Chain A
């Protein structure tokens, strides 16, 4: 009797640890609002206090995209992500973007964040594609 107890306790601990890693696939939809907030924070962290600078814009777009991707991955969901960012100087010119996707509309989704300041416009698109295990 004394030996049985610790073994039972051990298996309970192991099964609880396993439970944490099982993704809940039954209701997996893309949470666009969460992604929107994440991306908005990333953009504001990098572009809020600067003006358009041709030498640095490369670095900015790369940083925005990388940070957004890192935060999205940290959500821990089983998704593949594609994040694109376009930064444009404000000069009165027009810019149009459109995207067309061939995927599973029940599980996959997209989110677009538009941001601007005095000297530039920034558009970030997030596409999330579910991985069905």
Chain B
């Protein structure tokens, strides 16, 4: 009896959950953000004309940096807030409705004499 000529069997390779190495790890992301902030904001003074452009530039740069880190299968949101330091009170909060197993966030704060900068990066797994 001849063996039926079948297709070679393939393992399922579409993963529904990220492997540990590919998880959106807060610590790794925080370091990436911290490095970018230090590089771009080290001696910058608050300037009402330039700061909007700087804020936009920072959010794009951080997003590109995170993409380069290799979080495939993750949709990302990066939010950057820059404010002038005048001793006023600021409070920022965030809540998320997501899959706590796969999704996560990272945050960092940078301060110098004339400005403060808060960055929050969120990563949601794309199933």
Q: Name A residues whose Cβ lies closer than 8 Å to a Cβ of B.
A: 52, 54, 57-58, 60-62, 64-66, 68-69, 72-73, 80-104, 108, 110, 125, 127, 129, 131-133
Q: Judging by beta carbons under 8 Å apart, are B81 and A86 in contact? A: yes
Q: Which chain A residues lie closer than 8 Å to B51 at the CB level?
A: 94, 96
Q: Name B residues whose Cβ lies closer than 8 Å to a Cβ of A.
A: 46, 48, 51-52, 55-56, 58-60, 62-63, 66-67, 74-99, 103, 105, 120, 122, 124, 126-127
| Contacting residue for A97 out of B66, B80, B93, CB 8 A | B80
Whether A83 contacts B75 in the complex (CB less than 8 A), given A95-B84, A96-B82, A98-B59, comes out as no
Q: Judging by beta carbons under 8 Å apart, are A72 and B97 in contact? A: yes
Q: Judging by beta carbons under 8 Å apart, are B78 and A88 in contact? A: no
**C-alpha gap A90/B77 in the complex (Å):** 28
Whether A129 contacts B81 in the complex (CB less than 8 A), given A84-B92, A98-B58, comes out as no
Nearest CB in chain B to that of A67: its residue: B95
Q: Which chain A residues lie closer than 8 Å to B92 at the CB level?
A: 61, 84-87
Whether A95 contacts B83 in the complex (CB less than 8 A), given A84-B94, A104-B75, comes out as yes
Select the residue from A58, A60, A85, A104 with max chain B CB neighbours within 10 A. Answer: A85
Q: Judging by beta carbons under 8 Å apart, are A84 and B120 in contact? A: yes
Q: Which chain B residues lie closer than 8 Å to A57 at the CB level?
A: 89, 91
Q: Judging by beta carbons under 8 Å apart, are B91 and A97 in contact? A: no
Q: Judging by beta carbons under 8 Å apart, are A58 and B91 in contact? A: yes
Q: Given contact pairs A80-B97, A91-B86, A91-B87, enumerate 5 new A-B contacts (beta carbons under 8 Å).
A: A80-B103, A100-B78, A101-B78, A102-B76, A131-B127
Q: Which chain A residues lie closer than 8 Å to B82 at the CB level?
A: 95-97
Q: Judging by beta carbons under 8 Å apart, are A80 and B96 in contact? A: yes
| Contacting residue for A62 out of B55, B60, B93, B103, CB 8 A | B93
| Contacting residue for A99 out of B78, B84, B96, B124, CB 8 A | B78
**C-alpha gap A100/B120 in the complex (Å):** 11
Q: Which chain A residues lie closer than 8 Å to B63 at the CB level?
A: 100-102
